Amino acid sequence: MTRSQAKRSSEEDRNKEAEMGQTEEMTHFEIDEEILPQDDEEYKEIKKLIEVNSKEFIESQHQSRDLAPLLSEAKNESSSKPTDFKIKENGILVKKKIDKNENERELIFVPEKYRDQIKSLCHDSTSGHLGIVKTKDRLVRYFYWPNYCKEIKEYVKTCDP
């Protein structure tokens, strides 16, 4: 590599770092209406999922029958046994998980009301419908609910591509 190539490469790296720093500071995004197909029925479903109100989502979590025991476990700070469940400052229930790279992640508990949309989002890829393993892998990066494995298997098996 010549000196001019090395200089150009280091300038490009600095520009990329500066761009990344700017994008991290952004706290609000808007849906670009031109990207999603307007007349498509699927568009309306995707937009509805994207526009979920966080307050409504948290209320759904707290009213969920499946999540009730986990919420009480997370609220019980005086318990002697360690728990993987935590209620964040904004009231959302998460599960702490250590990923393959030994990093701690927080998975969002999904109430029943949103599960079909999440399953669809994780399974119906733009390149085709994913299988059971890949769908589960996509889901467990960010989401959790009791018996999700069983539900994903059933969803993928009954899928009609």
In tens, the pLDDT along 98-147 reads: 878 888 888 888 888 888 888 887 777 655 677 788 888 888 888 888 88
Q: What is the pLDDT of residue 150?
A: 92
| Count of CA atoms in the C-beta half-sphere (13 A) of 119 | 22
**Cβ atoms within 10 Å of 48's Cβ, excluding its own:** 10
DSSP letters for 29-77: ----TTTS-SS-HHHHHHHHHHT--HHHHHHHHHH-TTTHHHHHHHH-T
Pairing of strands 93-98, 104-109: antiparallel
Mean pLDDT check: name the lowest of 8-17, 30-39, 87-96, 148-157: 30-39
Distance, CA of 156 to CA of 135 (rounded, Å): 8
Question: What is the band of 13 on the pLDDT scale with cuts at 50, 70, 90?
Answer: low
Q: Is there a contact between 111 and 63 (Cβ–Cβ < 8 Å)?
A: yes
State phi, psi for 130 to the nearest 5 degrees. Answer: -80, 160
CATH topology for 37-158 is Endonuclease III; domain 1 (1.10.340)
- 107's enclosing H/E stretch is strand 104-109
Q: Is there a contact between 106 and 143 (Cβ–Cβ < 8 Å)?
A: no
Instruction: Give me the chain's average pLDDT, please.
Output: 72
Q: What is the pLDDT of residue 77?
A: 67
To the nearest whole percent, how much of the chain has pLDDT over 70? 60
pLDDT(31) > 50: no
Q: Is there a contact between 151 and 114 (Cβ–Cβ < 8 Å)?
A: no
Measured between alpha carbons, how far is residue 28 from residues 23, 24, 31, 115 in Å? 10, 11, 10, 25
